[in-house]
């Protein structure tokens, strides 16, 4: 029976992506030139100041013991790097300017755990399950991955009775009395596994699970002795593919490798991988699968003995590592890993789920203002551009002019949300139960939009102590700046049109009610700031080359430029697929709410 959907609560939400991208310039030749100044274009700077309404922390370099202090500049002053402010404002410009989401990574994702519930479980079984009457050895192959130049290649293990590897129960290894040690077998359970007998056929799985939990292979101090391992062996099998003999050998080349990855729960088997078949066809693994596997290795913080899972770093087939894999119908290596029950990739990458319409030739607002670099990974409107374009704005570091310092350490769990949580990251409007959920395998999978954290108040003293089981994963932050500290920053701009300048000003401070979130700990309420002063200065181009003064004029009516952008974009909304004014569009309303609503109540995530 399909599982009913459960409420899912998170400290973040999403602002929907635009229906289509607004193209401000048809090509780079239409962009303002850097070697000329015109009266119709604006060059100058914005001075702005803000106070933090909740404690704020922008981290510097993290030490090996997870200690982080507030970022300081070369003058040893607390500050927020200009690049941090730039990132925030660019994202705002992307939303308010109907830009293409360029900075969403084009990477494949892996199923979380083993796709334990709902739609993902069904999809996982379709790929990895052997089916009635067959074994995993008939679906998954074993082979050896090695580095050849910049490419990773895989060569199959030899086939014995149509199998490239064999599962072998730990009970058999114990009965054969194979030696245990650093370069030998690593046992998951103690030696009494050979005496295990279930109470009945009906209860055998439950009996084994209970026995396995209480009979792990431990040292005198009660710590697990098991670690992933591989060791060269010689082995023999009978006509029924039953292992009849295993011999440990120190020889470099052997008939196979006895091999096992992490021990999870009630696992029973180790694996024998046949020796490499040097006459077999060699396949190059595609870059996107390699990048996805490496990313998983780098970000999977819960995995023990992480180095065991790494791809080989030394060149040559002599340094090949044993892996399991599956080939697709086009003879591509589609999935691979260190266990036959592979963590498999979803069919669609994150970028494949972007449904924003765009003109294939043209430049949108964010790229026109912030600049862009054309490379092989360009997507969206930029993919047909041939020249790079330098940013027309620059951000100075934001200096703290008055610091309310909290010197005592606080301890935060700062793990980031993962796009593999498709229940959150993908549109799920029609799902009535777990089996109806859209995953990254669905052709109509669509990203929810740009993620933002709800603003909330921060109970700073909640994070003074840390539970013992969280010591290794917590980040210890020191020199937090308490609320009502003061900051001052500056943004320079060059050759912006009136509507571009208006969009930049809206992105910095939309209206008197909107706030911003900066730095670490946003899920806990850290980093809410209120820009309480913003001054605009524009050069007088007529006096620029005839006076020794800087010739900047203070603009008293900033709202004029904001309104110029709104009026400009309103004239183009119908052609983009909208039937309402700018501020009545759902995603713009969502944006304003995300910057002005303060969530109340206790943490619920």
Tell me the per-residue pLDDT of 546-572, one tens digit each, with 9 for 90 and over: 666 667 888 889 999 999 999 999 999
Confidence of residue 429 (pLDDT cuts 50, 70, 90): confident
Same domain? 292 vs 260: no
If asked whether residues 357 and 223 sit together in one domain, one would say no
Give the domain-ending residue among 345, 369, 393. 345
Residue 308 lies in a domain: yes
DSSP state of 597: -
Strands (E), 229-348: 229-237, 243-248, 256-260, 269-274, 282-284, 321-327, 333-337
Query: Which tens digits make up the pLDDT trace of 324-377?
Result: 998 888 888 888 999 888 877 787 888 889 999 888 778 999 999 999 988 766
Task: Give the mean pLDDT of 192-212.
Answer: 92
User: Domain limits at 299?
Assistant: 110-157+278-345
pLDDT tens profile 8-35: 557 888 999 999 999 999 888 889 877 6
Residue with tokens 């969403």: 104
Which letter, b or e, does each residue of 290-307 get, where b requires 16 or more Cβ atoms within 10 Å of its Cβ? bebbeebeeeeeeeeeee
Q: What is the pLDDT of residue 120?
A: 59
Judgement on whether residues 139 and 271 belong to the same structural domain of the protein:
no
| Highest mean pLDDT of the ranges 81-90, 215-224, 410-419 | 81-90
pLDDT at 241 > cutoff 60 = yes
Q: How far apart are CA 502 and CA 128, in angstroms?
A: 54
450 and 541 belong to one structural domain: yes
Distance in angstroms (rounded) separating the CA atoms of residues 359 and 27: 11
Residue 106 CA to its chain's centroid (Å): 11
Clarify whether residues 457 and 561 are in a common domain. yes
Do 420 and 514 sit in the same domain of this protein? yes
Q: What value, to the nearest 5°, has the Cα angle with vertex 564 and ends 558 and 569? A: 140
In this structure, are 125 and 255 located in the same domain?
A: no
The domain boundary residue, chosen from 259, 275, 291: 275
Write down the pLDDT at residue 132.
Answer: 55
Same domain, 29 and 144: no
Mean pLDDT, range 225-234, rounded to an integer: 91
DSSP structure class, residue 135: -
Q: In terms of domains, do 471 and 570 share one?
A: yes
- pLDDT score recorded for residue 603: 46
Collapsed DSSP state (helix, strand, coil) of residue 173: helix
* Whether residues 295 and 387 fall in one domain: no
Question: What's the pLDDT score for residue 430?
Answer: 72
More confident residue, 405 or 600: 405
- Average pLDDT of the chain? 86
3 domain residue, yes or no: no
- State which of 252, 275, 298 marks the end of a domain: 275
Q: Within a domain: residue 7?
A: no
Q: How confident is the model at residue 115 (pLDDT cuts 50, 70, 90)?
A: very low
Specify if 124 maps to a domain.
yes
Is 376 in the same domain as 403?
yes
Average pLDDT over residues 429-440: 75
| Inter-CA distances, 485 with 50, 60, 400, 404, Å | 8, 18, 7, 5
Averaged pLDDT, 126-131: 60
Residue 301 binned pLDDT confidence (cut-offs 50, 70, 90): low
Q: Are residues 384 and 313 in the same domain?
A: no
Please indicate, yes or no, if residue 5 is contained in any of the structural domains. no
Q: Cα(141)–Cα(157) distance, rounded to whole angstroms?
A: 8
**Residues 577-588: tens digit of each pLDDT:** 999 999 999 999
Residue 605 included in any domain: no
Environment class of residue 375 by beta-carbon count within 10 Å: exposed (0-12), middle (13-18) or buried (19+)? exposed
Domain count, the chain: 3
Three-state DSSP at 476 gives: strand
Residue 588 lies in a domain: yes
- Give the C-alpha distances (Å, rounded to integers) separating 569 from 30, 89, 536, 578: 18, 19, 22, 11
pTM: 0.78
The reply to whether 424 falls in a domain is yes
């Amino acid at each position: 029976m399909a599982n009913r959907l459960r409420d899912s609560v998170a400290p973040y939400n999403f602002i929907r992506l635009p229906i289509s991208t607004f193209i401000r310039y048809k090509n780079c030749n239409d962009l303002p030139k850097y070697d000329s100044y015109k009266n119709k274009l604006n060059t100058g700077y914005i001075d702005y100041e803000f106070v933090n309404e909740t404690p704020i922390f922008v981290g510097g370099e993290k030490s090996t013991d997870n200690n982080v202090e507030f970022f300081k500049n070369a003058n040893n002053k607390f500050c927020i790097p200009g690049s941090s402010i730039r990132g925030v404002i660019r994202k705002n410009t992307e939303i308010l300017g109907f830009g293409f989401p360029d900075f969403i990574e084009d990477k494949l994702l892996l199923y979380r755990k083993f796709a334990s519930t709902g739609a993902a479980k069904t999809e996982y079984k379709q790929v990895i399950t052997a089916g009635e009457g067959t074994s995993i050895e008939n679906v998954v192959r074993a082979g050896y991955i090695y580095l050849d130049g910049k490419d990773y290649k895989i060569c199959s293990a030899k086939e014995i009775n149509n199998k490239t590897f064999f599962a072998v129960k730990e009970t058999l290894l114990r009965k054969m009395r194979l030696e245990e040690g650093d370069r030998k077998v690593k046992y998951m359970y103690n030696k009494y596994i050979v005496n295990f007998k279930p109470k009945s056929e009906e209860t055998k799985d439950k009996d084994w699970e209970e026995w396995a939990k209480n009979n792990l292979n431990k040292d005198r101090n009660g710590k697990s002795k098991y670690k992933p391992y591989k060791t060269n062996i010689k082995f023999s099998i009978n006509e029924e593919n039953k292992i009849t003999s295993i011999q440990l050998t120190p020889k470099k080349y052997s008939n196979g490798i006895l091999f096992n990855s992490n021990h999870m729960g009630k696992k029973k088997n180790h694996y024998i991988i046949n020796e490499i078949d040097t006459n077999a066809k060699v396949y190059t693994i595609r870059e996107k699968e390699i990048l996805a596997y490496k990313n998983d290795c780098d970000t999977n913080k819960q995995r023990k003995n992480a180095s065991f899972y790494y791809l080989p770093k030394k060149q040559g087939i002599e340094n090949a590592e044993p892996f399991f894999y599956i080939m697709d119908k086009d003879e591509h290596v589609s999935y691979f890993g260190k266990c036959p029950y592979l963590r498999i990739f979803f069919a669609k990458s994150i970028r494949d789920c972007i449904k924003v319409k765009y003109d294939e030739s043209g430049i949108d607002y964010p790229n026109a203002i912030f600049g862009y670099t054309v490379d092989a990974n360009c997507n969206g409107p930029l993919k047909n551009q041939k020249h790079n374009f330098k940013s027309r704005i620059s951000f100075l570091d934001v200096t703290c002019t008055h610091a309310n310092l909290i010197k005592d350490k606080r301890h935060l769990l700062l793990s980031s949300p993962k796009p593999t949580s498709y229940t959150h990251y993908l549109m799920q409007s029609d799902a009535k139960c777990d089996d109806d959920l859209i995953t990254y395998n669905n052709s109509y999978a669509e990203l929810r939009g740009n993620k933002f954290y709800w603003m909330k108040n921060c109970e700073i003293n909640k994070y003074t102590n840390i539970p013992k089981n969280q010591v290794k994963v917590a980040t210890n932050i020191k020199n937090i700046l308490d609320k009502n500290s003061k900051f001052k920053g500056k943004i320079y701009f060059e050759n912006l049109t009136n509507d571009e300048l208006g969009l930049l000003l809206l992105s910095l401070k939309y209206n008197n009610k909107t706030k911003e979130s900066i730095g670490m700990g946003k899920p806990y309420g850290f980093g809410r700031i209120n820009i309480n002063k913003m001054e605009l200065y524009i050069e007088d181009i007529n006096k620029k080359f005839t006076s020794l003064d800087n010739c900047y004029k203070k603009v008293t009516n900033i709202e004029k430029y904001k309104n110029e952008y709104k009026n400009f974009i309103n004239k183009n909304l119908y052609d983009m697929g909208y039937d309402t004014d700018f501020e009545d569009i759902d995603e713009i309303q969502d944006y304003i709410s995300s910057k002005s609503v303060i969530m109340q109540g206790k943490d619920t995530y």
